[in-house]
Amino acid sequence: MRNREAARYARWAAIAAGVVALSVVGVYAERALRRAHARSHAPVAVPVTVQQQSAQFSFSKVEQDRTIFTVRASRATQYKDQNRALLEDVWITIYGRDGNRNDNIHTRECSYEPESGDVRCQGEVRIDIGNPNAGQGKPAESPGGIEVTTSNLSFNRNTGEASTPAPVVFRFPAGQGRGVGVNYSTRDSTVRVEHAVEFDLSASDRTGGMPVSATGSSLEIRRDQRTVLLAGPALVREGARELSADAILVELDANYRARRAVAQGHPQLRAQEGGGKISISATQFEGLRNPAGWIERLIADGNIEGTRQTASGADRFSAAHVEIAMLPGRNLIQDMTATGGVTAESQQGGDSHLLKTDALRVTFSEGSAAKASGPGAGKMDQQRIESVETLAPATIESKSASDTTTLRAKKFVAQLGPGGRLDKLFGHGGVDVRRQVGSGAPQTISAAELAATFGAHGDWDTLEESGNVRFQQADRQASAEHASMVRATDTIKLDGSPVVSDAVSRTTAASVVVNQKSGELRATGGVVSTYIPTAKGDAVNLGSGAAHVSADTLSGSVNSGHVAYTGHARLWQGESVLDADQIDLWRDDKKLQASGHVVAVFPQIAGPFPALPGKSSGPSSAPTLWKIVAPVLTYWSDRGQAHLESGVSASSAQGSLSSQTLDVFLGAAPATSAGAPGAPGGRQLNRVLAQGSVVIRQGDRRGMGEQAEYTAADGKFVLSGGQPTIVNAASDTTTGHSLTFYVASDTILIDSQEGSRTLTKHRVEK
């Protein structure tokens, strides 16, 4: 995950700038209408009269004792043969049916036709809307007045409509505009600019400190309905931003102030910011203003699609509905809420990042003043995203050339730093993380909570998970109450009763650290491992059933299969036990090694010893345990052979021996006395080979030689090498090329150097 993704989401807030511009379309009408509405007292109605004289001329239209409009001229000339009059210095004052207007049309000369009621003015005509002093020829004083200049105007006495096909120029306090053709109806209080509408608004704090221009095919002001409509194709520009739509509608409140602006019919917002091109479309854009004139809320609705193109890649955003709340009194975003299939995708270079959720809230900083660049640019407030919060379950997917990470949670909260960089990401209510590194097996982690930190380059640095943490990769599994992942070292640390397992082993400890790339493992604090027997052969196969190993620490690699148990290491399997300072296991080599104060205990194969010639067989020998002490022990499980060296001592109920080295051979456990097989996989001692300064003790009898071999099946020792010697309690000495004596009897077999065999019987002192 790269933090640039979260920073780019802030640019979707450009919706705000575009929709803000919608409201300014009706600004020029708002103030004029508000001033006119303040004059709620209509003039006293006068009866309908028609006067024709050279000094004065006037007529009015009255409906239900209310004057709708009055036509006045300072001089009138009646032409008998043409049935028309020439009016000079003409004023047409329009009051409206509710008497809430005082708009004036003024020109130098008009032609009046009494029969048709038409007044035609060929020269320049000036229309003042919302200027109460215009009828007295005084200059405009109303700050909201609109001045319209045109020519070739026609006014009909009967319909109360004024119109012209000529070009028109209008001015208002916030700017100026132009168009072609005007129609002004006193009946429905509508002013319409027919064609080629253009107007410009001066820069102000309400326009973000930048000038605004707008164009449209027509502009219609419906005073009674309190609406202003700019028909499309309509286009509004604010600095480097522009909004296009089939129609832009501004609704006015009871005081004729803009309260709602709506862009409908394929509205699209385009901008160039931060080195990228932004485009946002929706079914409708809407802006809501408060009575003080500030934008309160911006809304985009229906099939919202946003894109941002840069030299390095592209960003995409989509949702069904977006609402933006603005800071009171400022042209700044407070927060943004998006709902309905929200997706935000960023592709920069070889990296991609995708967010999916059904609801999202973005909180913005209050911003700081900065100088915007570009034609017509002014001062504007630069904002940044402070936090992003999903309001529904969400998925975040991040891909690079070698790494794919997918996060899922019921809720995510992201915190961003001053530079727009993603600092922290929190997951709540059950979090799942799936990571694929290269062609390796995918890693999955689940937990109740997640906390991630991010570095300067946008990649995550650490992941902290807590609450029922579960980790799995192929056949490797781990669980704990808390897990910490570090990207730089590619390690995961488990605390809180961690358990690590694979197909053949399970380990518990106080703390476990695993390198996910190399497979290195280190566990500390009360380490206990259990190895499950398999049919393929195992590194540990000293006895029957599962093998258990305990130690202070465990280190090694799950990839190489070599692990070391250090500090009070102890291994037990069935009746076999191994204690040492350290026990090393090699899984693939099927080997283990114990070093430092090694103490091994092996069960001896039990069974009847065969009788000597001429002797009957004795009773069954009870199973016995051999205890062996040495500095080093190496065991190969596939051969069932343990090799002990550097001075060995061994003891059992059958006797004891010491030597330089000792090889112990373990065989499969024999059948039980009932004929049933022994424990599955069980092994017991069946042969011992001692070499180097061998000393055997049995009761008061002592045997010496360079080599001794003991076979458990027949209970005999064979001494050989050097000058084998047996000494009994009476100091009787027996020597030979090799000496064989049976533990269960008093028989010794001597093999002389000449090859002859001599049998000597000794009573074994019991």
Please say whether the beta carbons of 85 and 78 come within 8 A: yes
In a domain? residue 550: no
By C-alpha distance, which of 733, 495, 747 is closest to 612?
747
For residue 741, the surrounding DSSP H or E stretch is: strand 738-742
- The 10 Å Cβ neighbour count of residue 502 is 16
By C-alpha distance, which of 356, 332, 338 is closest to 301?
338
Q: What is the pLDDT of residue 79?
A: 77
Residue with tokens 């059904």: 358
In a domain? residue 670: yes
Please say whether the beta carbons of 646 and 632 come within 8 A: yes
pLDDT, one tens digit per residue, over 101-140 is: 778 889 999 998 888 888 999 889 998 876 555 444 444 4
CA 550 to each of CA 480, 525, 631: distance values in angstroms, whole numbers, following the listed order: 19, 10, 19
Average pLDDT over residues 45-68: 65
pLDDT band at 48 (very low <50, low <70, confident <90, very high): very low
Average pLDDT over residues 8-21: 37
By C-alpha distance, which of 367, 412, 371, 409 is closest to 389?
412
In a domain? residue 622: yes
d(CA 683, CA 695): 26
pLDDT band at 93 (very low <50, low <70, confident <90, very high): confident
By C-alpha distance, which of 178, 176, 172 is closest to 212?
176
Higher pLDDT, 173 or 490: 490
d(CA 114, CA 118): 7
- The 10 Å Cβ neighbour count of residue 480 is 26
Average pLDDT over residues 409-437: 88
d(CA 407, CA 463): 11
pLDDT band at 390 (very low <50, low <70, confident <90, very high): very high
In a domain? residue 717: yes
Whether the CA torsion 457, 462, 464, 469 is positive or negative: it is positive
pLDDT, one tens digit per residue, over 396-414 is: 998 888 888 899 999 999 9
Question: Residue 622 pLDDT more than 70?
Answer: no
For residue 21, the surrounding DSSP H or E stretch is: helix 14-23
Lowest mean pLDDT of 357-366, 639-648, 675-684, name the range. Answer: 675-684
Please say whether the beta carbons of 165 and 158 come within 8 A: no
Question: Residue 18 pLDDT more than 50?
Answer: no
For residue 231, the surrounding DSSP H or E stretch is: strand 227-238
Question: Residue 631 pLDDT more than 90?
Answer: yes
Residue with tokens 């600095």: 239
In a domain? residue 605: yes
Question: Residue 539 pLDDT more than 90?
Answer: no
Question: Residue 458 pLDDT more than 50?
Answer: yes
State the total domains in the chain. Answer: 1
Average pLDDT over residues 28-56: 43
Q: What is the pLDDT of residue 364?
A: 87
The single-letter code of the amino acid at 750 is I
Structure tokens belonging to residue 62: 């009255």
pLDDT, one tens digit per residue, over 583-610 is: 999 988 999 999 999 999 999 887 544 4
Q: What is the pLDDT of residue 54?
A: 59
Q: What is the pLDDT of residue 487?
A: 86
Please say whether the beta carbons of 566 and 551 come within 8 A: yes
By C-alpha distance, which of 524, 580, 531 is closest to 555?
524
The number of CA neighbours under 13 Å toward the Cβ of 671 is: 4
d(CA 22, CA 287): 7
Question: Residue 537 pLDDT more than 80?
Answer: no
Please say whether the beta carbons of 680 and 703 come within 8 A: no
pLDDT, one tens digit per residue, over 733-762 is: 888 888 888 877 777 888 875 654 544 444
Domain that holds residue 724: 561-761
For residue 619, the surrounding DSSP H or E stretch is: none
By C-alpha distance, which of 748, 619, 639, 755 is closest to 686?
639
Angle ∠(447,448,452) on CA atoms, nearest 5: 70
pLDDT, one tens digit per residue, over 650-687 is: 998 878 999 999 999 998 876 554 444 444 557 899 99
Lowest mean pLDDT of 41-50, 186-195, 733-742, name the range. Answer: 41-50
Average pLDDT over residues 760-765: 46
Give the SS3 label for residue 205: helix
Kindly give, in sequence order, each residue whose CB lies less than 8 Å from that of residue 282, ignoring residues fewer than 6 positions away.
267, 300, 301, 302, 303, 304, 305, 322
Which segment, 1-5, 96-100, 504-508, 535-539, is predicted with the most confidence on average? 504-508
Structure tokens belonging to residue 353: 């990042």
By C-alpha distance, which of 306, 417, 412 is closest to 11?
306
- Whether the ω angle into residue 498 lies within 30 degrees of 0, i.e. cis, is no
Structure tokens belonging to residue 527: 């380490």
pLDDT band at 19 (very low <50, low <70, confident <90, very high): very low
In a domain? residue 604: yes
Q: What is the pLDDT of residue 8?
A: 43
d(CA 290, CA 298): 12
Q: 476-486 and 491-495: which strand pairing?
A: antiparallel
Higher pLDDT, 537 or 574: 574
Q: How far is CA 413 from the centre of its chain?
A: 9
d(CA 629, CA 649): 5
CA dihedral 12, 17, 20, 24 (to 10 degrees): -150
Question: Residue 166 pLDDT more than 90?
Answer: yes
- Helices and strands in the chain: count of H runs, count of E runs: 3, 54
By C-alpha distance, which of 575, 584, 588, 615 is closest to 714?
615
Please say whether the beta carbons of 94 and 104 come within 8 A: yes
Average pLDDT over residues 32-61: 50
CA 682 to each of CA 621, 678, 688: distance values in angstroms, whole numbers, following the listed order: 19, 7, 18
d(CA 52, CA 84): 11
Higher pLDDT, 201 or 476: 476
In a domain? residue 283: no
The single-letter code of the amino acid at 166 is A
Lowest mean pLDDT of 203-212, 291-300, 687-696, name the range. Answer: 203-212
Kindly give, in sequence order, each residue whose CB lies less than 8 Å from that of residue 754, ignoring residues fewer than 6 positions away.
none
pLDDT band at 290 (very low <50, low <70, confident <90, very high): confident
Whether the CA torsion 644, 647, 651, 655 is positive or negative: it is positive
Q: What is the pLDDT of residue 428?
A: 95
Please say whether the beta carbons of 329 and 292 come within 8 A: yes
Mean pLDDT of the chain: 80
For residue 122, the surrounding DSSP H or E stretch is: strand 118-129
- The 10 Å Cβ neighbour count of residue 166 is 15
- The 10 Å Cβ neighbour count of residue 211 is 19
Instruction: Specify the pTM.
Output: 0.70
Query: What is the secondary structure of 475-536 as a DSSP string?
Result: TEEEEEEEEEEETTTTEEEEESS-EEE-SSEEEE-SEEEEETTT-EEEEEEEEEEEE---TT
In a domain? residue 216: no
Q: What is the pLDDT of residue 205?
A: 60
d(CA 289, CA 248): 15
Structure tokens belonging to residue 544: 């029957």
